[in-house]
Amino acid sequence: MSTEQTSTPASGFTYTLTRTLDAPAARVWQAWTTPDQYAQWAHAAPGSVTMDVRPGGAWKSTMITPDGAEFPLTGTYTEVTENRHLVTGMDIPGRPDPTLMTMTLTEEGPRNTVITLTQTCETAEERDMAEQGSGMLLDGLEGFLGDGSGR
């Protein structure tokens, strides 16, 4: 996995995470956009994930942290290109606009897919927390795809 952080206070604080997964892009997409599969690897409370994967479609999930705390999350999808590109907006209390995370899938051969997550946050602290959470998501996804349950 490679990580890149850029700090541009005028436009926010951005991170980019990249990882190569041992699965075709369609399989990665399915794991990321199917509620029951997503719940298995994304540290979500059972039964809490709903997804309407289309531009303007809503999603929600309750994430469980390693220490057991639960965080309900909601948002909408703003861009959807099946098996290639997904922009997800996350609602942040007290903010008029959602925080956007972009996921891009690039196939490198029949069984290798590069997944890239990019997000811009308002503060360095928010970026660092979001990057840590995204890293945990990629760890879970990689484990799910690699242990056979995601195939």
Taking only the tens place, the pLDDT of each residue in 95-122 is: 888 999 999 999 998 889 999 999 999 8
Q: Is residue 139 part of a domain?
A: yes
Specify the CATH number for the domain of residue 87: 3.30.530.20
The two tokens of residue 94 are: 């007290």
Counting the structural domains of the chain, the total is 1
Q: Is residue 151 part of a domain?
A: no
pLDDT, residue 11, reads: 64
Q: Model's pTM, two decimal places?
A: 0.87
Q: Is residue 68 part of a domain?
A: yes
Collect all residues with Cβ–Cβ distance below 8 Å to 134 and sequence separation of at least 6.
15, 17, 101, 117, 119
Domain containing 65 equals: 2-146
- The tally of CA atoms less than 13 A away on the side-chain side of residue 13 is 11
